[in-house]
Structure 1
Amino acid sequence: MAKIEKLSGRKRDERIAGYVFALPAVGLLLAFLAVPIIYTIYYSVFQYQVMRPNDILFVGLENYKKLFSDSDFWISLKNTFYFTIVVVPVQCTLALVLAMLVSKKYRGVSFFRTMYFSPQLTSMVVISVLWTVLYNSNPNTGLINALLANLGMEPINFLTNEKTAMNSIIFMSAWQGAGYQMMIFLAGLQGIPKDQYEAASVDGATPWQQFLFVTLPNLKGTIKYVIMITMIQAMKLFTQPYVMTQGGPRNSTKTMVYYIYTQGFQKGNFGYACAVAAVFFVIVVAMSLFLQKVTADK
């Protein structure tokens, strides 16, 4: 029979102190993550109209059956996947390039670090409004089309053409979010021992070879983390379509979170919105686990 380890007074106090310090974090996790998930699953099996809170009807799995036959659900899912698949590599690559540029010690590097990171300090709503003005198809008010007009080119309907609307949002989102990933990559770059670069240089390695065989292997863990958080953030896309396109044109920028918002808060189909949110939660978790398995060390 195994012996029960008796803790000394000091170790017991340290363990109690650890529980006390962890308690606020655990409480916030339960309040803002576990409880909403439980309530979302609970309401997903009811027909619950926000405008009629007392008229709640248990419908079982009907909401889930409905969403799988709902064309808007599949369009929103497709748009979300497209945005994620494109913006993650673009944003991560841009962030790594910026981090490489500002990792060197030269005059004014602090200014460039601040400039590249500054979009993160600005509200996404404000940035979306500014880029809406930049993307305006009227050359008299849209700054980008005004520049194209001065160059003798035809104006581009960035946000009113279904072929260009999502790509325009992707470009803006990659620009806005790259600063945060840049700082993470910068921390990883500063943790690489300098003697590895010196040894590679002595062996005759070119800067490109040093990047491939010194920088990338040392950043493997950082790259995995950045890809993971960027993917999760991309799946939650909402503000940009809400402010810039309202999901249009022709639902080309309607994402899953925007679809959940319209169903729950605009149309009042709260039970159905919870069902969509529950399915979307499972999809995001499954993608995260898949990505973690793919990038795991063999």
Structure 2
Amino acid sequence: MTTTQLPSRRPAVPAPGGTTPAAARRKRPRHLREQLSGWGMIAPAAVLLLAFVFLPAILGFGLAFTNARLISPRPVEFVGMDNFARLFTDPTFWRALLNVSYFAVVVVPVQSGLALAMALLINKKFRGVNFFRTVYFLPVVTSMVVVSLLWLFMYRKDGLINELLSTFSFGLIPGADWLNDPATAMPAIIALSIWQAAGFHMIIWLAGLQSISGELYEAAQLDGASRWHQFRYVTWPGLKHTRTLVLVTITIQALGLFDQVSVMTQGGPLDSTTTIIYEAVRSGFKQQETSYASAISLVFFVLVLLISAVQRYLTREKD
């Protein structure tokens, strides 16, 4: 008598990673749901970036090569490089570029140095340190428009600054018309800008200072290093990456100067405070030359990109 042997069920071979094929099939829907949930969470931000950043940038790039106007019955036509040829022969643009360069050359070192000094002061444990941190950071959370309006009244002929100068000099120093004099309009805006934004970069410096190990300072003290040598050989090298971030951030903000000028001087007097961004806004909305404003914006984008790349190269970590 012959007996038939039933085929034995082969054990499931584990899939790579230690799971069986059946378990892997059960995990697929769950993994798909997780992916869909992730895409759903980033979708609102992606839509906003696409609608208000990428599409306007692409549209502005295209308009720079046309004769488009904000309101015009004429159809839009391709004009090639005409807007750029006009731009590079426009004395107002070159004056705006000079003003922005002057603003950046003064603001970048002064504001970064002041912010670092403030960070060093509040990087110590003493009673009331949180109060000083709040006071130093308070101008940052105040709207630049509000700050500009406040300083606008302070810079008036009969404003607070002239009153203080007259009081402490016993009338020997006459008050200046700060915002209506081409020699003092830009320095006045520089002083306001440094005061308003120094607290923000103070926080960045403070984060860098607190990332430096305290053991390095203890070793320096044991070696008899003075406070200056501790700063020079411990603090400053430890802030290598922080100072790159601070310098690039301040430079980009300085090149994008607009709010203070729009509120306080409107580019005057005699174009002494006109900036590239203000000129682009004035051309695009007041003069309704959308294509010319787009050309200015495109040139500004290239300038910021080049300056940031050069600055990043000069402050790179060298082997």
- Rounded to whole Å, the distance in 1 between the matches of 2:267 and 2:90 is 16
Aligned match for 1:149, one of 156, 166, 174: 166
Q: Return the letter of the residue paired with 2:139.
A: P
- For the residue of structure 2 that corresponds to 1:159, the secondary structure is helix
Correspondence for 1:245: 265
Q: Return the letter of the residue paired with 2:128.
A: G
Q: Is residue 2:293 matched to residue 1:268?
A: no
**TM-score, normalised with respect to structure 2:** 0.86
Correspondence for 2:278: 258
- Rounded to whole Å, the distance in 2 between the matches of 1:232 and 1:109 is 30
Superposed, which structure 2 residues align to 1:101-180 within 5 Å?
101-136=121-156, 138=157, 141-150=158-167, 151=169, 152=171, 153-180=173-200
Correspondence for 2:103: 83
- For the residue of structure 2 that corresponds to 1:49, the secondary structure is coil
Task: Give the conservation status (yes or no) of the 8 Å contact 1:49–1:55.
Answer: no
- Quote the offset at 1:35 in angstroms: 1.2
Of structures 1 and 2, the larger Rg is shown by: 2
- Rounded to whole Å, the distance in 1 between the matches of 2:46 and 2:198 is 30
Q: Is residue 2:59 matched to residue 1:39?
A: yes
- Rounded to whole Å, the distance in 2 between the matches of 1:244 and 1:272 is 25
- Quote the offset at 1:230 in angstroms: 1.0
- Provide Cα deviations, 1:140-171, integer angstroms capped at 9, x if missing partner: x3111011112221112221111111111111
Structure 1 unaligned residues grouped into runs of 5+: 1-5
Residues 1:196 and 1:17: Cα distance change in structure 2 (over 3 Å): farther
Residues 1:59 and 1:243: Cα distance change in structure 2 (over 3 Å): same
- For the residue of structure 2 that corresponds to 1:46, the secondary structure is coil
Aligned match for 2:77, one of 27, 39, 57: 57
Aligned pairs, number = 290
Give every structure 1 segment of 4 or more consecutive aligned residues whose post-TM-superposition deviation is greater than 2 Å: 6-33, 53-58
- Quote the offset at 1:189 in angstroms: 1.1
- Rounded to whole Å, the distance in 2 between the matches of 1:171 and 1:78 is 18
Q: Return the letter of the residue paired with 2:279.
A: Y
- Rounded to whole Å, the distance in 2 between the matches of 1:27 and 1:158 is 45
- Provide Cα deviations, 1:36-79, integer angstroms capped at 9, x if missing partner: 11000111111122121654232121111110111111111111
- Provide Cα deviations, 1:243-284, integer angstroms capped at 9, x if missing partner: 111111110100000000110011111111111111111111
- Rounded to whole Å, the distance in 2 between the matches of 1:193 and 1:278 is 44
**TM-score, normalised with respect to structure 1:** 0.91
Q: Return the letter of the residue paired with 1:206.
A: S
- For the residue of structure 2 that corresponds to 1:246, the secondary structure is coil
- Rounded to whole Å, the distance in 1 between the matches of 2:50 and 2:232 is 43
- Percent identical residues: 45
Residues 1:98 and 1:53: Cα distance change in structure 2 (over 3 Å): farther
- Rounded to whole Å, the distance in 1 between the matches of 2:31 and 2:101 is 49
Correspondence for 1:29: 49
- Quote the offset at 1:174 in angstroms: 0.5
- Rounded to whole Å, the distance in 2 between the matches of 1:288 and 1:32 is 23
- Rounded to whole Å, the distance in 2 between the matches of 1:23 and 1:103 is 40
Q: RMSD in angstroms over aligned alpha carbons?
A: 1.9
- Quote the offset at 1:15 in angstroms: 6.4
- Rounded to whole Å, the distance in 2 between the matches of 1:261 and 1:297 is 38
Task: Give the conservation status (yes or no) of the 8 Å contact 1:45–1:275.
Answer: yes
Q: Is residue 2:231 matched to residue 1:214?
A: no
Task: Give the conservation status (yes or no) of the 8 Å contact 1:44–1:63.
Answer: yes
Correspondence for 2:11: none
Q: Return the letter of the residue paired with 2:135.
A: M
- Quote the offset at 1:31 in angstroms: 2.7
